[in-house]
Structure 1
């Protein structure tokens, strides 16, 4: 089983890059399932229905999200209805959508779990406890391999989650910071781990937004608007290879520039 995971798709440039790069990338890497974090696709904040449709039409099978998932009210209905879209499982009970689901791909039943961190993030239920409950539910439902998108700020929290679930899931991959990390590896128990896969958007930017207003904002402390960056994009992500045990045997970073 080969799982391709794509980092946070940021604004129109990120979606354009996804369409330009992903079809060729999938032909080369031959993933059985393609997962992408889409919470920043609509001008950097949330997911409007046309942009959700655009992510799927580019070749993504499952969309994960995070703290920006509710930033576009017009997307609530689709998020609540479409089982290919996940929001963090440790959000408050009763909110739209689902935090985990099962997908049949390549003769495998793959469980995908979305979690949000709590360090320097919006309030949420304890992701470590929710992770245990969700993993057991996914295994009881027949998941052969489980992929976890942990959308969190603190590297320490992500590393702790990796070790917490080591040997129980195939992959724990981090999102949210938009900055790819160099710590991709297979943990001792067989779980593939990386603190952050990065973003899909304009690299020559400040994590996906224009440089000049971002610098002015930091320099002056004034609330300058920071529009999404324009320019050539880069798709960032990782490819995870999973064996018959449902554990990871290889982690490889993926990076492709828009032509």
Structure 2
């Protein structure tokens, strides 16, 4: 199976890049399944129902969220109505929606997608992500119930993400980090067949501070005080993520390639 995971979509620029490129990439790269992390797609924090529909219509099969999952109140109801949008498994016990589910893929195949939030350096104490993902993966055996399993680890600490990668190795086709908006250079296939990358990066304008216009975050670092609101940068976005090719019989990854397309970063593609 040919799978594309794209990192955090940031603001209007990131949304425009998805709309501009994703349908073409699905055709040219012969993609079977696409997951997009969209938790910063609306105003740089959170996701609205309207923008979720836009990204799904552009070619995403599944949207994952993160710690800003419900910054826009309409997502509380939308996530219950739209099964293709996943919030983190361990966000809160009473949170609406689901954190993991099976999806149909071409040829009668099934893809299982799950998302967890990290605990280290996060602003609030989320539930244990390791026990949450452990329980979620039990009905999604690779090569059996699922031909591919994808895990989005939305976390700050690279050590926590790497630990999650090894924890899921042998049970997942891809374990990929999101949240920091900076793509890492550690794309690899782990010992038991899981593709891994500590952070997919963002789909946004890299002439910025992690997707935000530069002046306000720089001011906050220099003075220790906020002067205004953080606003997403509006220059040309780079699509960032990881492409994975898996074996249907086992669900193991046989190829993993970091993706950088357009904008300011060096371009790379699966071919």
TM-score range, shorter chain: over 0.9
Q: Is the contact made by 1:238 and 1:254 (CA closer than 8 Å) also made in structure 2? A: yes
Structure 2 equivalent of residue 194 of structure 1: 197
TM-score of the superposition, structure 1-length normalised?
A: 0.96
Deviations 1:92-134 (A, max 9, x none): 2221000101011022111001111000112211111111110
Once residues 87 and 226 of structure 1 are traced to their aligned partners in structure 2, the CA distance between those partners, rounded to angstroms, is 23
Deviation at 1:25, TM superposition (A): 1.8
Structure 2 equivalent of residue 179 of structure 1: 182
Once residues 106 and 58 of structure 1 are traced to their aligned partners in structure 2, the CA distance between those partners, rounded to angstroms, is 18
Unaligned runs of 5+ in 2: 265-271
Structure 2 equivalent of residue 95 of structure 1: 95
Q: Is the contact made by 1:20 and 1:258 (CA closer than 8 Å) also made in structure 2? A: no
Unaligned runs of 5+ in 1: none
Task: Give the CA RMSD over aligned residues.
Answer: 1.5
Once residues 154 and 166 of structure 1 are traced to their aligned partners in structure 2, the CA distance between those partners, rounded to angstroms, is 19
Once residues 216 and 93 of structure 1 are traced to their aligned partners in structure 2, the CA distance between those partners, rounded to angstroms, is 37
Deviation at 1:258, TM superposition (A): 5.4
Once residues 234 and 21 of structure 2 are traced to their aligned partners in structure 1, the CA distance between those partners, rounded to angstroms, is 17
User: Which shifted more, 155-164 or 77-86?
Assistant: 77-86
1:1-259 superposed matches below 5 A = 1-107=1-107, 108-121=109-122, 122-139=124-141, 142-224=145-227, 225-243=229-247, 244-257=249-262
TM-score of the superposition, structure 2-length normalised?
A: 0.92
SS of the residue aligned with 2:182? coil
Q: Is the contact made by 2:204 and 2:237 (CA closer than 8 Å) also made in structure 1? A: yes
SS of the residue aligned with 1:241? strand
Q: Is the contact made by 2:206 and 2:263 (CA closer than 8 Å) also made in structure 1? A: no
User: Which shifted more, 19-28 or 190-199?
Assistant: 19-28
Deviation at 1:144, TM superposition (A): 2.5
Once residues 84 and 23 of structure 2 are traced to their aligned partners in structure 1, the CA distance between those partners, rounded to angstroms, is 19
Once residues 33 and 169 of structure 2 are traced to their aligned partners in structure 1, the CA distance between those partners, rounded to angstroms, is 21
Paired positions, count:
259
Structure 1 equivalent of residue 268 of structure 2: none
Once residues 47 and 216 of structure 1 are traced to their aligned partners in structure 2, the CA distance between those partners, rounded to angstroms, is 26
Once residues 263 and 42 of structure 2 are traced to their aligned partners in structure 1, the CA distance between those partners, rounded to angstroms, is 19
Q: Is the contact made by 2:150 and 2:173 (CA closer than 8 Å) also made in structure 1? A: yes
